[in-house]
Amino acid sequence: MSKKILFIVEATSWSQVVRLMVLARGLDPRRYEVHFASARFDQRLFHGTNFTRWPITSLGPEEAVAAATFGTRSYDEATLEQYVAEELRLYEAIRPDLVVSDLRCSTAVSSPTFGVPCATLVSAFWSRCSTRDWFPMPDGVPCATLVSAFWSRCSTRDWFPMPYLPLARLPGASMVEKYLYPIALPMVLRYFAAPVNELCRKHGLRELGDIIDVMTWGDRLLFPDDPLIAPLTHQAPHETFLGPILWSPQIPLPAFWDELGRDRPMVYVTLGSSGVVDAVPPVLEALGGMEVDVVLSTAGRFTPKNLPRNVRVVEMIPGDLAARKAAVVVCNGGSGPGYQALAEGTPVVGIPSNMEQLLSAIAIRDAGAGLFLRSATVTAAKVRAAVERVMREESFTQTAQRVAASFASFDPHARFRAVVDEVTRCGGTVKSR
């Protein structure tokens, strides 16, 4: 008898839906009955699949971008309560043997309440064991101790970065990030987890902790990363590096494709479904003054005006082929377009706007495979300087090519199937916390 696997995604961007869809496609339909719950089922992604589809409520891309922009909670308690109720109804109807969740923090309440094991897909950048310092401080630590610990470590540790916020444009923002933000960070992380913790109490579960504990909750944690880019100090038994989960639309290349990169380098620009559109004008201004061919993919989000002569615009393009031909990929820095570029051995200039994109962009920079610019303060001059540097210094391309070789050593489908087989064979361990 086939096992039932329920994939459930918070469809705030293409990347969340894409990576679960890719994993679901890799399961043997003779052994597994696949159910997919999402707010959106784009036919470009789901064409040819026979998954049982379940429409669910989800935060929209525009709402997610707005929350990230203004540093507000994406969800209140009432919304998450609705999510939990919806998920419990799904579990009752499907009776899944395993739930696979991506950015759906409500499953940390619904799955243990129902008693079904849950595997959470989350970037390794969020792990407590990331080599980036979270500056964790337990509750009840005296203020003097906190300040003392901060000053003893601030000159030697790599802080968890301050997200994109409007205040990043204000004078003195760099001082706030360097000296005040690390002190406030533990309280900020608890603030964003408060609605989930309240639901845990209501359902008789123990509180999870802060937003990092919420993001990394799961009976199994699946990292769609390569430890070369997202290293950990140590890896727990329930954690698995799947490797980068890559996807590109199978659509015809544009008519002008063969003209690109013939006499001068090509730059591929894509901010995806969640990058800040306000970054496009300075990017085009910068690249318009350079001796390069430019392909801009809009993902159907905007219609650029007053295009420079060297810029071609498409709604969508096979991203792998575009990255392969490009000398540089300018993107939101996230693991979707960023990893796609690196998989083709092409360095990246990232312009991140939300926390996950920022963590990914920093990791790519630290690996030596690209640079990144803050979207809040990006200018044409900064974009041009970054692109010219990445094209001029061979080390960026050489590093990207080494990363590509490491990426190629991973088989995400085989690693995912091994986790699914183990959980469904043994029944998994349901966290009740």
- Which tens digits make up the pLDDT trace of 257-315? 999 988 899 999 998 766 677 888 999 999 999 999 999 998 777 788 889 999 999 98
Residue 174 has a pLDDT of 65
300 backbone φψ class: left, alpha, beta (φ>0; ψ -120 to 50): left
Q: Helix count (H) and strand count (E) of the chain?
A: 16, 13
Q: Which segments in the chain show pLDDT lower than 50?
A: 69-71, 134-158, 432-433
Cβ–Cβ under 8 Å, residues 85 and 56: no
Residue 276 has a pLDDT of 73
- Compute the Cα dihedral for 417, 36, 357, 324 and give only its sign: positive
Residue 356 has a pLDDT of 85
Tokens of 221: 């944690």
Alpha carbon distance 200, 202 (integer Å): 5
Residue 432 has a pLDDT of 45
Which among 41, 42, 43 is positioned nearest to 55, based on CA atoms?
41
Could you please report the per-residue DSSP string of 157-172?
A: S-BPPPPP-GGGGSTT
CA distances from 116 to 8, 24, 109, 240 (A): 13, 18, 11, 19
Residue 143 has a pLDDT of 46
Cβ–Cβ under 8 Å, residues 386 and 289: no
What is the rounded end-to-end Cα distance, in angstroms, of the chain? 31
- Which tens digits make up the pLDDT trace of 348-383? 999 998 888 888 999 999 999 999 998 878 999 999
CA distances from 244 to 23, 133, 263, 356 (A): 11, 23, 32, 15
Provide CB contacts within 8 A for 220, sequence distance 6+: 117, 118, 119, 120, 238, 239, 240, 419, 423, 428
CA distances from 14 to 69, 117, 118, 183 (A): 18, 25, 22, 34
Provide CB contacts within 8 A for 375, sequence distance 6+: 164, 275, 276, 278, 279, 351, 352, 353
261 backbone φψ class: left, alpha, beta (φ>0; ψ -120 to 50): left
In percent, the amount of the chain with pLDDT more than 70 equals 83
Q: Quickly list H helices, 216-354.
A: 280-288, 319-325, 335-343
Domains of the chain: 3-129+163-243+410-426 (3.40.50.2000), 257-408 (3.40.50.2000)
Residue 53 has a pLDDT of 96
